[in-house]
Structure 1
């Protein structure tokens, strides 16, 4: 079995697959042959045997029917029954002919039965017609009947025997098909069991080979993982398949690993000493750099405080200068507003005096209008009186003065309306007069207040002019202070920037030292781990 061990796993599995396919194909071929034979048998039964059995059953019925029809025709002297008997004879004759065609082996026996049938039919038909016609010799009836009975018995026996043979053949064919199917089933079952056994044996063989090689590798790796393995230990190589190649390559890997571990062990001790020394020196350098960084931060904080103080002074001076400029602008604007107020107050005073004069004139005109209204009222009363007199005269004139009376009524009504309107106008003028008098009084007060406002505005303008001159002086001093503090702020900012750059340099150096210290600590840890790891292997 060395050839099987040296085969690759793929080829082993492929060989099992090919053999399985061959066995399956053989089983399939056997089953196919059995199925084809059964199909042929069933086809033969359907087309031949079943048809023969059916025709044989019909023949048994037809021959009995034929004898009964002839007997009934003679008994009842019925020609129609003879016709039916003749048709039955024809059907039976056709069946025998068909059987001779589809059953070549029984062709001779069927021909004899056909001849016996013809002989029986001829004899029986002649006997029946003779008895119906009364032309038959009664002395010969017994002899003819005996001969007919022998022929009928021979015909009946032949047809019955043929039927029994065909039924037996049908049963035999069915049994043969069943036996063949059963044999095919048993054979397929046996081949299937053989295939399963073969597959099981082949699978177990391959599984044992894979499990054995994999188990050796797993055990060796487990010992190495537990720190109990020996790198010089070699696995047993059985065969040249993939598992054998795995074992061989694993042995090569162990040899390579043993050599590598040996070289690592040789440099682990010097590496551990160097890592420890580097770690100590980096701790000293880091401590010194941290102290320098702390001092730089202290200087930076002091310069920042000074710079903030100078900036605050500069900012306050700038704000004071801006406030002074704003105050100067506001004072200038206020002075202009005051001057404008004085001018407007003067104009307002003049306008109020003009309005007061106009209202006085209005009051005088109102009194004139009152006089005119008195005249209009007097005219309206006289018109009303004249209209009344005219109406009285028209009434005296009778029918001739009717039109004049109408005109007199209209004139009197118009005079009444004029009098009413005059009263309303007088009422309005009275109200207007009262309002004019009130306005004249109010205007007098307004003229007094306007004069006082003009005087106060002039005083305010003088005060704002004095404030403006003082603000100009303050603004000049704030400008000098802001310039000086700005120069100090620039110097402080320059010094602070230098300190910041120095502090950043210390921070960068400290970061680099921290990284180097971390690397040295990691290197020291790696060296210890490497020493611990290499100590677990046996060389």
Structure 2
């Protein structure tokens, strides 16, 4: 259980704490006992004091017969009784309790006897000393009570004195007992702690000495294969186990270092021969780099020419795109004018149609007039017939009827000519309307073709712009390629310089390999002094 130093120290600390707690408890108990004894002794002193006061005030009332002495007597009796009751609750020793009970009985007896005396003294006051009173029955009773009270007072004083002495003796014995117990416990705890401290210290010292001897053996003999022997399973043993593990790992590492030293020597020789071969290959690589520089310069020249051609093509495409843009604007203007003409032609056609409608109305009016002329002609014929029948009286009417008939004929003739003229006008209007509609349709078709042409030209402009962007991008890529080719030239030159530097470095590596071989041999010799197996 107590195998580790930590556990032993914790156990020692626990024992010390337990002893400290025990001593503290004993000290507190002794202090409480002393306080209790002091309290009981103080109460005993109070009892002695109140007993003396009780007797003193009883004599004082007998001498002076004053109420103050009587009151003080009663108060002293009360205080004495209370202190006796208080002390009775605290006492545990049987003999002292018996003494206290006897004192209480004597006190009650004294108080009863003195009460009878006080009644007689209250009745006779100063006459209690006269021969007549003493000869009377009350006087004889008073004398008897006085003698009895005297005996009781002496007994009470003796009992109180013995009780006080007994209490003090008992408490002194108790305090002495506690003191002896405390001293013995302190000695036992001190002895136990000292023994445990010696035992734990000797165990730790023994473990340290054993570990030190094992480490000295390893240091003197350089024997890393030695296993450290330990005592117990404490922290020092655990530490030595860790050291043993470390030595085992160190032994393994030194074995590996020995093998590595031998391998390093072999590798150094191989590295030297390999370095010479690398130097030769580096010189060959330098020649290849020179040829690559020449080829890269030719590529850079071609890329520069391509850049110039692409830039020129981009400029030409931009010029053609601008010209197509101007042509597109002109076509757009022509299309707008054609749309305006179409609107005008449509409006004119609408007006001619309206004129045709008005001419039709004129023809209707002429038809009405023709009907009226025919009716007038018939009326004129009828009037002429009637005038011929009338004879001489109707001649004037016949002349008028003839004029009316002529007028109707001229009107009909004019209507025929007007109808012919109107028919010609209607035919002309219809012909013009048809021609204008056809012209408007052709103009509208021409406008649509103009819009289609404009769309094609705009698309061509977009394609030209894309071609321009591609040409400029090609020029930019050619320029970037030329720049990258120049960078490649710079890098190839750097590689050429690095190849030259590597050739020198390879020679240095060969020299370092020889030095590494020498160091490996020295390391192998230095590690051989350690015993690892």
After TM superposition, the score normalised by the length of structure 1 is 0.48
After TM superposition, the score normalised by the length of structure 2 is 0.49
